[in-house]
Structure formats: C-alpha cells, structure tokens
Amino acid sequence: MPDLFETFLTSPLGKALAPKVGLPQPVTLRRGRVLPSGGIALASLPGAGLAAEALRLLEIVPVPAVRDDPEARVPDAEGRPKPPRYEERIGALVIDASTLTRIDELEHLRAWLRPAVRGVQPSGRIVLVAPEPESADGVEKRAVFHAVDGLNRSLGKELRHGVTTNLVYVAPGVTAAALTSTLLFLLEGRSAFVDGQSWRVGPADVAATSARALAGLVVVVTGAARGIGARIAEVAARDGAHVVAVDVPQAGEGLAEVANTLRGSALQLDITAPDAAARIAAHVAQTLPGRRLHAIVHNAGITRDKLLANMDESRWAAVLEVNLAAQVRINDALLDAALPGGLADGGRIVGVSSTSGIAGNRGQTNYGASKAGVVGVVRYLAPRLADRGITVNAVAPGFIETDMTAAIPPVSREIFRRTNSLQQGGQPVDVAETIGYFLDPASAGVTGQVIRVCGQNLVGA
Ligand SMILES: NC(=O)c1ccc[n+]([C@@H]2O[C@H](COP(=O)([O-])OP(=O)(O)OC[C@H]3O[C@@H](n4cnc5c(N)ncnc54)[C@H](O)[C@@H]3O)[C@@H](O)[C@H]2O)c1
C-alpha cells in the first residue's frame, strides 16, 4: 500500500519537486522467485571457475561482461574518451574473484564494475564472489579480501533504481553446487531488500538448489499469525514445506487462517511457557508420526520501548524473555536427538535479530539487548552443531512495513523508512525470503551468518 510520501511523490507536484530538492524516489522492487529479464553477465579472474560452474548448474547461460580498459574507450562528440557501454541493459553482473590474491588485481573489479553501474536494469544485481578473509595466508591476501567488502558497501550507496550489490565470501573447498542456493537467491527478486552485505559460504556436500527445495520437510515458525511470521510460513509452504504455525492463543483466529491457507497445522502456544519445546515436539510427533523437524524459525518477538531512564523491570523482562530466553530454552530441548519430533540432523535453526541489536536504537535498550543476544546464539551454536549438519543463522531486518513499525510516530517512521540505499521500507516477504534461503537444504554451507535485510540502512551500516 502506498504511504503518504509515496502518494506525494507520484503526484504531478511531487514528481516536479522531488528531483529539485533531492527527495528520494523509491522504485518498485522486483520480488519473488523471478530472475532479471536482462542477461546475466559474468566476469571471472584468471583461474576462477566457481561462479561459471554454479550458473551452469542453475541452467543460466551468461553473457559477456563489458570492461572499461583504457584502450577500449571511444571518443565522444567532444573528443573525450568514454568507457564502453552495454548495448542492452543487463539484469546482473556476477564477478568471480575467488582466485584474488593481490591488491593490484582489484583493478579488474573496477574495470568490470564501471560499465555496469549504468548498464544494469532497475532492480538488477551485482554479485561479487571473493575468498573468505580467514583463509588468507599472507598480509596482502587478507588485506585485499577485506578490501572487496569496502568496495561492495560503498558501491551499494552509489547504485540507484533498486539495483543491489552483495559479496559472497567463499571458504576453501566450496563446490559450485554449494554456491547455487546463494547465487540464485541473490539474482532472484527474493533478495530485493538485501543490499551492501557480505556473508560466507562454506563447503558442503549438497546437490544444486531447486524451487521446491523444502518438499516433504517440516518447518516450525513462531509468531506466525501475522506480519513477518505469516510471510515466512507462506514462503516455506511455497517451497514445499509442511508448516507448523505457532502463536499465542489470543492470535488464534489469524493463526488458524494462516495454517489453513497453507495446509499446515496451527499450534496455539506461548513460547515463554516452560513446556513450550515439549509441546512443539509432541505436536510434530502426533500430527506427523515418525517425523522430525527440519527447521525452527524463531520469529515471535515483541517491543516494549522506553528510554532507559523510564524502563521498569516488567518491560525489561518481557522483551528478554520472549525475544531471547524462550528460544534458548526451545533450542536446547529440540536438540535432544532422543526427543520424538525434535530437530533432525541436517536441520536448521533460524533467529530473527534486528538492526537495533547491531547499531543500537534510542528507546530500545531492552529490545537491542535481546536482538544482539540472538546474534550470540548464532555465533555460539553454529560451530558446535556443524558435526550434526545443523546450520544456525539469523536475519537482521531493518525497517519493515508491519503493524510493529506502523506504531512508530509518523515523522520518525518516515525517517527510518527512507534512510537506506533503496530509499524505502522493506516488505515482510523480504525477510521471509532470506529465511527461506537459509532453510534450503542446498544452503548447508551457510552457517553462523547474520544477514541484514535492511536495504543497506545508513545508520550503523
Ligand atoms: N517489523 C520490523 O521492522 C522488524 C524489524 C526488525 C526485527 N523485527 C522482528 O521480526 C519479528 C516479527 O516482527 P513483526 O513486525 O512481524 O511483529 P508482529 O508484532 O506483527 O508479529 C509478531 C507475532 O509474534 C507473536 N508473539 C508475540 N509473543 C509471543 C509469544 N510469547 N509466543 C508466541 N507468539 C508470540 C505475536 O502474537 C505476533 O503474531 C520480531 O521478532 C521482530 O522483533 C521486525
């Protein structure tokens, strides 16, 4: 639904005024399991073949990338040398720099990126692939691997018209198949609100991703009656999962509607109840005999905002209990391999953090603490569950258009909504799609990661 600002911008007066006073003009982003309509250009450093092979597995035939080499420039009418251009707008540029070792090789990235800045169609993509910094065995390598991150984040702030750029760090031993889920997520509209981010893909023995990746798998989503949780349930069901939708009894009506529409099942449950995990597992064991959970998505969350000067113990406790303590207890119980209906080996734990937990937010000391705690859960559990093939990741949403953010006073809301590289709020589905990417069995190499779904928030980015 257009907000007031959007309505103004699309009016004749707004259209005339906006460019003059430098007001942001957000574009409608491409969403869903949809590739860009333009070609996917591929550029690879000498010896780099990972992205080419992953594209082949995805049955995407790349087009050649245009390079800004000094000798390729052609004089314009005034005789000034101009870099070569794409004849037709491309949908994306993928640069495979997985064999990067030296600082001077960054010139290749500049040469490929320059024509792409104006050559990528609206809502198009730049995807950079580089070696993970921890794998560097010398100072220049470590420096240059980090340098790509700075390049990516700065480029994100220059791109316009909904074009995003993201960086995939690949660990030694990553196969092309293990990269497919990440590459497809980034190229498709599913990653619409993920911009200027970098995360790691590790080695995993998997087959290439597919659209119905979750067929036959059971996924539990907490807080599923509305907002982001309802969209997570929808995305998981679209990709084939049987969804167990969990929410408090007071939200029973919305919960039943979500579960019925998706042909999943509803479980009315307050996640802070001491027996919450036991009830989730019992529900799975009874409704789907013999099955274990593929995933638990800890989406249920609350805010009780107050400046710390006015923060009483009940606001403090409620937020830490729902947003953090409950999920620590639930994970602990579901990880018991002997519990019928518990988490299966090869499964997924997904947390929902927030940019407030990363950058901090005035009036949200309780919420910020709880959401930073979610990052702690990810960091602690991911390496410890690797031998069971269980991945642990989180999303950190920025400003997402939901009932939660509709309650923010109008002026602050307008500021939060616009101050990111995409100049608009994200949609609940943007968070859901990123979680869907974590849930994919082909994402087994993605663990211990926190992906911000924030359109590259300008604060604390
Ligand atoms: N909306 C945003 O901009 C934004 C930004 C960052 C993070 N988040 C996080 O995303 C998640 C979803 O947010 P939303 O905007 O959809 O919120 P929402 O308030 O619309 O939905 C939250 C759902 O969680 C349920 N819930 C709350 N307490 C529960 C409990 N004890 N047991 C079971 N269910 C419970 C609620 O009934 C509700 O259905 C939250 O964790 C939130 O902190 C949201």
Both tokens assigned to 180: 């497919």
pLDDT in tens, 308-342: 999 999 999 999 999 999 999 999 999 999 999 99
What is the predicted pLDDT for the residue at 353?
A: 98
Residue 365 C-alpha to ligand 1 middle, in angstroms? Answer: 17
Residue 304 C-alpha to ligand 1 middle, in angstroms? Answer: 12
Token look-up 């990880």 returns 335
Same fold, 21-75+83-201 and 218-453: yes
Reduced DSSP (H G I as helix, E B as strand, rest coil) percent helix, strand, coil of the chain, to 5: 45, 20, 35
367 included as an active-site residue: yes
Residue 236 C-alpha to ligand 1 middle, in angstroms? Answer: 17
pLDDT in tens, 248-279: 999 999 999 999 999 999 999 999 999 999 99
Query: Best mutation site among 270, 370, 400 for ligand 1, i.e. most ligand atoms within 8 A of its Cβ?
Result: 400
pLDDT in tens, 61-70: 999 999 999 8
Distance (Å, rounded) from C-alpha 50 to C-alpha 175? 7
- Report the predicted TM-score, pTM, of the whole model to 2 decimal places: 0.96
- Domain 21-75+83-201, CATH number (from 3.40.50.620, 3.20.20.70, 3.40.50.11690, 3.40.50.720): 3.40.50.720
Atom 29 of ligand 1: nearest residue by CA position: 300
Distance (Å, rounded) from C-alpha 16 to C-alpha 264? 49
pLDDT in tens, 415-448: 889 999 999 999 999 999 999 999 999 999 999 9
Q: Share the mean pLDDT of the chain.
A: 95
Under the banding of pLDDT at 50, 70 and 90, the label for residue 288 is very high
Residue 399 CB less than 6 A away from ligand 1: yes
Residue 330 identity: I
Residue 193 CB less than 6 A away from ligand 1: no
Distance (Å, rounded) from C-alpha 111 to C-alpha 428? 36
Under the banding of pLDDT at 50, 70 and 90, the label for residue 8 is low
Q: Which residues pair with 400 in a beta bridge?
A: 426
Atom 23 of ligand 1: nearest residue by CA position: 223
Q: What is the 3-state secondary structure of 382-401?
A: HHHHHHHCCEEEEEEECCEC
Residue 424 C-alpha to ligand 1 middle, in angstroms? Answer: 20
CATH number of 218-453: 3.40.50.720
Residue 299 CB less than 6 A away from ligand 1: yes
What is the predicted pLDDT for the residue at 1?
A: 43
Distance (Å, rounded) from C-alpha 339 to C-alpha 421? 45
Catalytic residue among 86, 367, 380, 437: 367
Both tokens assigned to 14: 């707004």
Q: Which residues pair with 401 in a beta bridge?
A: none
Give yes or no for residue 149 having a pLDDT over 50.
yes
| Three-point CA angle 405, 411, 415, nearest 5° | 75
| Cβ neighbours, 10 Å, residue 291 | 16
Residue 53 C-alpha to ligand 1 middle, in angstroms? Answer: 39
Residue 223 C-alpha to ligand 1 middle, in angstroms? Answer: 6
176, 50 contact by CB (below 8 A): yes
Residue 176 CB less than 6 A away from ligand 1: no
From the alpha carbon of 230, which atom of ligand 1 is closest? Answer: 16
Residue 227 CB less than 6 A away from ligand 1: yes
pLDDT in tens, 384-427: 999 999 999 999 999 999 988 888 888 888 888 999 999 999 99
- Tell me how long the chain is: 461
Both tokens assigned to 271: 């996640």
Query: Best mutation site among 404, 408, 424, 459 for ligand 1, i.e. most ligand atoms within 8 A of its Cβ?
Result: 404
Kindly list the domain boundaries of the chain, sorted by start residue: 21-75+83-201, 218-453
From the alpha carbon of 321, which atom of ligand 1 is closest? Answer: 31
Helix (H) or strand (E) holding 64: strand 63-64
